[in-house]
Amino acid sequence: KDATDGVWLEEREEYYKALTESLYLQRRTRLIETLFAWWTDALRASNGVTQRNFPSAKQETAAFADRLSIAEILRRIRCLEELRDHLGRNVHEALAIEVAFLTIFTA
């Protein structure tokens, strides 16, 4: 019966649309927070701090951090903060992510 009820089908469609969007936003937020944690590890490595959010990647993070100055790491963290702020506003998401990633991950 419910499979042919138009109102029920519309309600289910809205439910799954909202659920999908919610899961996407959670995963996007988790990705950005993971990037913050990794860049924090890079900053710690460049300052000689042994504590890490990702201890299994300690050597790789330290090798990467050695190639950048502290000012450069902080600049990239600021770009990540700007991305998070932009995603909280009404901006074109794909463009904001592309610009931020190009700024953060290129020399």
Cα separation of 97 and 70, whole Å? Answer: 23
- Domain segments of the chain as ranges: 33-105
- Residue entry with tokens 């913050």: 36
Name the residue with higher pLDDT: 8 or 39. Answer: 39
- Residue entry with tokens 């993971």: 34
Confidence at residue 7, expressed as pLDDT on a 0 to 100 scale = 86
Q: Is the pLDDT of residue 54 over 90?
A: yes
Question: Percent of the chain having pLDDT more than 90?
Answer: 85
Q: What is the mean pLDDT of residues 28-37?
A: 97
Name the pTM for this structure.
0.83
Contacts of 52 (CB under 8 A, 6+ apart): 41, 44, 45, 58, 61
Note the Cα 68 to chain centre separation in Å. Answer: 21
Q: Is the pLDDT of residue 1 over 80?
A: no
